Amino acid sequence: MSDNSAPESAIGYIRTARRDACDHFEVMHKAIEKYASRTGYRLEASFHDDGVSGMTTADRPGMDALLQHVLLHDVRICIVNDVGRIARSWPAFFTIVEELHRCGVDEVHLAVDIDAGETPKILNLAEFARTADR
């Protein structure tokens, strides 16, 4: 992202396995907002799945809505709190990452505690797709 251009659009995604995890949900949402603000992205929308297993890609209306959104809007960045929010199994993870890339999302940024001096972590989906095809 260049300093002299408008902020790039980003979207957020949160998945919790338990429906009663609303406190955890709020913490994750605030971390995503903070990451977007600190790194200069405009958080355009945020999607979530509450009480949804990360072991499969089934029954994830929030992820389905996110994928529809990126098909209709020019969004290249998806911000999640950690890789486990995307999926908890390799097959589900690879399926979702492949679909995100197909929909035009180039990178998944992992929101980290920037105040703790951590370096933001980025999963470049184009590079991921190239290495997965080998």
User: Higher pLDDT residue, 32 or 3?
Assistant: 32
As a whole number, the mean pLDDT across the chain is 82
Question: Residue 127: is its pLDDT beyond 90?
Answer: no
User: Higher pLDDT residue, 20 or 99?
Assistant: 99
- For residue 106, the model assigns a pLDDT of 87
pLDDT confidence band for 66 (50 / 70 / 90) = very high
Residue-wise DSSP of 27-96: HHHHHHHHHHHHHT-EEEEEEEEES--SS-SSS-HHHHHHHHHHHHS---EEEESSHHHH-SSHHHHHHH
The tens digit of pLDDT for each residue in 83-111 reads 888 888 888 888 998 899 898 898 888 87
The tens digit of pLDDT for each residue in 109-125 reads 887 654 545 555 666 66
**Domain 9-132 class in CATH:** alpha beta
The tens digit of pLDDT for each residue in 42-65 reads 999 999 998 888 898 889 999 999
Question: Residue 24: is its pLDDT beyond 90?
Answer: no
**Residue 116 DSSP SS3:** helix
